[in-house]
Amino acid sequence: MILYYQTHSPFARKALVFAHEVGIAEQLQVIHHETSPTLRNEQVHAENPLGKVPVLLRPNEEAIFDSDVICAYFDTLHDGHRLIPEGGEPRWRALRLQAVAQGLAQAGIGLRWETDRRPEGLRYPALADGYTEKVEQTYDWLEQTLDVDAPLDIGHIALATTLSWMAFRHLPSFRDRKRLADWFDGFEERPSMRATPLSGETHD
C-alpha cells in the first residue's frame, strides 16, 4: 500500500501513527506530497478530488481518504486490540474525542491563515479571535474531561497528533493545563510518535 503523506500535517500523521500502533506500518510505502488550497498537486488531485492528504492507495482497489476513513480501514488489517471500539460507550467516547481533536486542528489551521499565511492586509482579526477562543475552550474541556488512564483508542491518537502540531506551529499553548500536558508528554514518548516527527514548512 502507498500512503500519500505530508510531514507537517496532523491528519496525515494521525494515520501513520495509527498504522504504527496496530503494527502495519511496514506494509506502507510513505510518499510525501506538498498540498495547500493555493498549490495544486496533480498526483494528489488524481486520487482525491479535494486535493488533500492523507490518501491510501491499495493494490487493485479504490483509493481511500481522509484520515478517519484510513484509520478505520487500518483497524481491519490486524488481529490485535481494536483502536476504534466496536460498540457501546467506549466507541462513542473514542469517536467524540477524535472529533474534538479534528476540530481543534481545523481551528488551529484557520488561526494560522489569519495570523501567518494570509497576506497581512487580508487578515481578519475578529476571525482570528474566534479561532483562538475555540482553541482555548477546547483545551479547558480536555483538561476537565480527558480520561488519562483509558485504554488507547483512535481519539487519543488524534488528540496527541493535533497537540503536537499545535506546539510545532507555535499556536496557543496547552501547557498551563497540567493534566493535559502531562498526558501529552507521556504519549509523545510512544514509539509511534517518535517514528513520525513533524517537519517542514507549508508551501502556498
pTM for this entry: 0.96
Residues 133 and 63 in one domain: no
Average pLDDT rounded to a whole number, residues 30-41: 94
pLDDT digits (tens, 9 = 90+) for 72-99: 999 999 999 999 999 999 999 999 999 9
Compute the distance between CA of residue 42 and CA of residue 200 in angstroms, rounded to an integer.
20
Residues 101 and 60 in one domain: no
Within a domain: residue 182? yes
CATH number at residue 177: 1.20.1050.10
- Asked if pLDDT for residue 186 goes beyond 90, the answer is yes
Percent of the chain with pLDDT over 90: 98
Within a domain: residue 174? yes
Within a domain: residue 201? no
Within a domain: residue 203? no
Predicted local distance difference test score (pLDDT) of residue 61: 97
Within a domain: residue 130? yes
Three-state SS at 61: coil
Within a domain: residue 129? yes
Where a domain ends, among 49, 74, 99?
Answer: 74
Within a domain: residue 112? yes
Backbone angles phi, psi at 23, to 5 degrees: 80, 25
Number of domains in the chain: 2
- What is the residue-averaged pLDDT of the chain? 97
- Asked if pLDDT for residue 197 goes beyond 90, the answer is yes
With cell 475578529, the residue in question is 126
Residues 56 and 134 in one domain: no
More confident residue, 39 or 101: 101
Where a domain ends, among 74, 98, 127?
Answer: 74
Where a domain ends, among 33, 52, 74?
Answer: 74
- Asked if pLDDT for residue 203 goes beyond 90, the answer is no
pLDDT digits (tens, 9 = 90+) for 107-164: 999 999 999 999 999 999 999 999 999 999 999 999 999 999 999 999 999 999 999 9
Radius of gyration for the chain, computed over Cα atoms and rounded to the nearest angstrom: 17
Whether the CB-CB separation of 158 and 184 falls below 8 Å is answered with: no
Whether the CB-CB separation of 4 and 180 falls below 8 Å is answered with: no
